[in-house]
Amino acid sequence: MLLSRQLAARAHINVGDEVRLATDSAGTTGRLFRVVGIYEPTPDPMRFTALRLETRLHLADLANLAETPGDVAGADTADAINVRLVTPADARPFADDVRARMPGLDVRPTSRPPEGDPFVVLDRFHLAISLVTVAGSTAFLLALMIIRAEERRETVGAMRLLGISRRSLLVEVAIEGLLIAAAGALFGALLAFAAESLVNRIFQSRYDTTLVFLRVTRSIALRSFALAVPLGVAAGIAASWTLLRRDILSLVGR
């Protein structure tokens, strides 16, 4: 038989050891099995908090072990049958076909429809939290931009006196906002990328799993850029516009 890494570590069992398995806690109906290997259980996000104390046997061995005297049908039962299709895209019609031929069986494709998938719901939840964070950050960003614009009131006044147009100044502010927002977004993406390994290591150690909890993908980084850069530019222009619309004399304090 095979043992999960977690069970082998907890029970101090090595490859080659013999282990008695029984279906009752007293071990009276047990049989001896030899451990031929230790495996890492496939990470399952639905069960990441569960301690994976598992063994794998051949079906016939398990049936013999669980056999009840006199229960002939019991030896030929299975909890589930996994089917790999030649054409995976046919999973749904295949399931419908089997269900029609064998009413009473629960037949379903392994891929979840979006409406029943808890991870789609979690994705929506995270998106909603991100939107709230973006709204808060935008307010802070706008406040900072207004302070910066106020700081440059006299400089802007002097530039206007020298004949530089509002339009040119706005373009300058937009480019400046673009550069700052792009640098900020890049820094944020790099910070997330650096935190990825740390966060994964903490959670993997906490739950003794190889499941990946956090992954900064290119599409996520691009989405952050797509959101952060226009917001940064818009905040810069909005804050500067309050200054640029004033007449030149008020800008220079006359």
Which residues of the chain form contacts with other proteins (CB under 8 A)?
48-50, 77, 79, 102-106, 116, 118, 121, 124-125, 128-129, 132-133, 135-137, 139-140, 142-144, 146-148, 150-151, 203, 242
Strand order of the β-sheet with 2-4 is 37-39, 2-4, 55-56
Q: Least distance in Å: CB of 12 to other proteins? A: 22
Read off the DSSP letter of residue 51.
Answer: -
Cβ closest to other proteins, residue 64 vs residue 242: 242
How far is Cα 200 from Cα 24, in angstroms, rounded to an integer?
Answer: 38
What is the pairing mode between strands 37-39 and 2-4? parallel
Cα four-point dihedral sign 207, 209, 210, 211: negative
Q: Least distance in Å: CB of 33 to other proteins? A: 21
Q: Least distance in Å: CB of 175 to other proteins? A: 21
Q: Least distance in Å: CB of 18 to other proteins? A: 26
Cβ closest to other proteins, residue 164 vs residue 194: 194
Q: What share of the chain is helix, strand, coil (3-state, %, to 5)?
A: 60, 5, 35
Cβ closest to other proteins, residue 32 vs residue 100: 100
Cβ closest to other proteins, residue 32 vs residue 80: 80
Cross-strand pairs, 3: 38, 55
Decide: helix, strand or coil at residue 189: helix
Cβ closest to other proteins, residue 13 vs residue 142: 142
Q: Least distance in Å: CB of 13 to other proteins? A: 21
